[in-house]
Amino acid sequence: MPVLAFVVLSLVAMSFTPHVVATSSPNFDYVVTILMENKHINQTYNCGGNCTYMTTLANTYGLAESYSALTHPSMANYIALTSGGQYGTTSVQAPGSVNATNIVDSLEASGLTWKAYMESYHGGCSDYGSLYEDNHNPFVKYADIYHNPARCERIVNTGNDAGNSSTSLFLSDLASPTAPNYMWLTPNILHDMHNATVAEGDQYLASLVPQILSSYIFTNRRAALFITFDEGCCDFPRDFVMSIWAGPVVNQGLKSATFYDHYSYLRTLEDNWNLPTLTVNDTSATPMSEFFGSMTIPPQPQPLIYGWGGILATSSIHFNRDNPASMVFIGEQASDTEVTFAEMKSRGYNGARVSIIDPGNQPDSNVYDSRAWHRTLTLAQYFGLYVIGDDHEYNITSSWLPFWRTVIDDTPQARYPNVLWEAQNEPHDTNLTTDFQSFITMDRSLGDTRWVVLGCNNSCTPTANSDLHNFPIVNDTLDHIFYDFHEYFFYPDHSGEWNVTSAVAFADEKFAGVQNVINTLHRPFLGTEWGAETGCSACAPDQTVPGSAGYAPETLAYLTEIVKRSHEAQIGYTLFHCRMEHTFSRLQKREPWSLCLGGIC
């Protein structure tokens, strides 16, 4: 009788008219779906210490607060998610017993690829494994998959932990540009919370999800991650389960009270990829389209940044052998950037100036590295830091605007709101106003509203009214422009007055220049490079912290005065020196010369 019921219901489903949404611009090209088990939303969101990661993920990306599972027990929910119907499925469902058109049929008919990953599984259409639950694998239940060896090969074992990068086929595929468009992950019963606690499931996701979001597919392609639970505590339509959309294409911070259910998930995929709906259920379901596309981004307030610079984007993929384990990329050693950001955060700083490219600095810093840039931004988000991304060059060439367009397109504002752009480091350009205006126009045409830092021409360093003519005069409809200039207290330039009093006086002269920029040009100021020495050509004889940081009592006094005056006037800054990851430890060992936030140690 169960098989007959499947056939009858499938014939009923065929009597409706499929609905197809015509769209030439899908929200995503890849989707990863993770099915967790048997928990209501109140058990997995804002539940206290047991669900810390899931709550943070939901708050960061998109949470459907009124998303209901359909029925009990598990199997019918899995079938509904993948076919638009329940087809009389029960808790005991034989492989190949469901005769229904399903998502795999639609994907393959449209030329899209798919793969289903099962933890602790024997593989193929075997339908068994050590910690595998057969009712958590809908694919092997469909007759047109079970009896098709080529399709069975798309149901694979991804080891006992999909988050173990050394054994996970799932993570390996995400690292490849040939990853399937549709990727389904069923964790084993210890990871999906079926036979484990919420805290254990939360820890599992805390290890796995950051690796998904930092993978090649999620940092180089339009990809979305959907996490939901098969069922909760109650009856439809109020069996609300935590359902999260995450990834670079998702509108950040969205919490929706719109009613959704498992059919809504399927309808979302169908609308995205122009697939026909499969039953009356997904046809009438509300697609979850509000989680994607262009979300209205409110104007950003003027950020007040106190931070450090001299950081390369590629330092996020550089590792010192003494670095500890990563707190962000689980299973890795902390990168040089992570060590630096952690130290900055512990000292009270809230921003970092990062060179997206810096030709000539390191062998890998001369070209844009999307993976390194996204890792840097992920680290900054973890530590709650602004990032000022700069093109650390000195001349504008024909490749300059195309470079920036690539970077801005690759850094969606909805995902990375706390980013500023420094159009070029210390420009030397006969057409600076025209070129910087082109940058502003291009940036705003992309829908970007983030703040932009513009430096003065020919490395000008104003004191009173001098050099103000070297600043570009640009128009910005948002008026999100900072002006900037850089200055150091170099020993060769001040050897005749090398004392603390002169250093403080020089800092006061430069700060008068800052105030004149603000008062005369009517733009806010963000000094992105105040420094001591940078591998000095003739080092001060009294350097206390030798090397690239170049700290002496005089240079420390200069920077302390700049920092003090900036805090008093609430003007942002980032302090600069090379190889900063080593400098913090040097300063910490010589506490009298340690420069702390606000100049107060």
User: pLDDT tens digit string along 149-177?
Assistant: 999 999 999 999 999 988 999 999 999 98
Beta bridge partners of 261: 68
Q: With bands split at pLDDT 50, 70 and 90, how would you rate the model's confidence at 600?
A: very low
Structure confidence by residue, pLDDT tens digits, 9-39? 333 333 455 655 544 448 999 999 999 999 9
CATH of domain 2-289: 3.40.720.10
On average, the pLDDT of the chain sits at 87
Q: Is the pLDDT of residue 360 over 90?
A: no
C-alpha to C-alpha distance for 517 and 527, rounded to whole angstroms: 11
Query: Structure pTM?
Result: 0.56
Please say whether the beta carbons of 485 and 517 come within 8 A: yes
Phi, psi of 305 (to 5 degrees): -115, 130
| The predicted structure's pLDDT at residue 546 | 57
pLDDT at 19: 59
pLDDT of residue 536: 61
Q: Which pLDDT belongs to residue 412?
A: 84
CB atoms under 10 Å from CB of 384, counted, come to 11
CA distance 100 to 266: 15
Percent of the chain at pLDDT > 90 equals: 70
- The answer, yes or no, to whether residue 451 has pLDDT greater than 70, is yes
pLDDT reported for residue 583? 39
What integer pLDDT is reported at residue 459 of this predicted model?
A: 82
Highest mean pLDDT among 45-49, 139-143, 376-380, 486-490: 139-143
- Half-sphere CA count of 287, side-chain side, radius 13 A: 18
Kindly compute the dihedral angle of the four CA atoms of residues 448, 417, 273, 106, in this order, to the nearest 10 degrees. Answer: 170
pLDDT category at 535 given cuts 50, 70, 90 is: low
Q: Find all residues with CB under 8 Å of 388, minimum gap 6, and list them.
A: 305, 307, 309, 351, 352, 353, 354, 419, 420, 421, 422, 453, 526, 528, 574
For residue 550, pLDDT over 70 is answered with no
Q: For the ranges 196-205, 292-301, 328-337, which has the lowest average pLDDT?
A: 292-301
pLDDT(306) > 80? yes
pLDDT tens sequence across 101-130: 999 999 999 999 999 999 999 999 999 999
> pLDDT per residue over 227-262, tens digit each?
999 999 999 999 999 999 999 899 888 899 999 999
- With a cut of 80, say whether residue 311 has pLDDT above it: yes
Count of Cβ atoms closer than 10 Å to residue 503 Cβ = 24
Are the beta carbons of 336 and 318 closer than 8 angstroms? yes
Per domain, the residue ranges of the chain are 2-289, 306-599
Residue 433 has pLDDT above 80, yes or no: yes
- Alpha helix locations (H) across 160-279? 169-174, 198-213, 216-220, 262-273
Region 407-412: mean pLDDT is: 90
Range in 54-58, 558-562, 597-601 the model is least confident about? 597-601
Q: Tell me the DSSP string of 320-337.
A: -TT--B-SSSTTSBPPHH
- Rounded (10°) angle between helices 500-521 and 553-569: 30
Which pLDDT band, with edges at 50, 70 and 90, does 537 fall under?
A: low
Whether pLDDT at 592 is above 50? no
Q: Report pLDDT for 581.
A: 36
Nearest to 86 by CA among 266, 269, 287, 271: 266
CATH superfamily placement of domain 306-599: Glycosidases (3.20.20.80)
Render pLDDT for 458-508 as a digit per residue (tens, 0 to 9): 888 888 667 888 999 999 999 999 999 999 988 888 999 999 999 999 999
Secondary structure (DSSP) of 431-442 = THHHHHHHHHHH
pLDDT at 323: 93
Query: Is the CA virtual torsion 353, 357, 358, 363 positive or negative?
Result: positive
Q: Which pLDDT does position 16 carry in this prediction?
A: 52
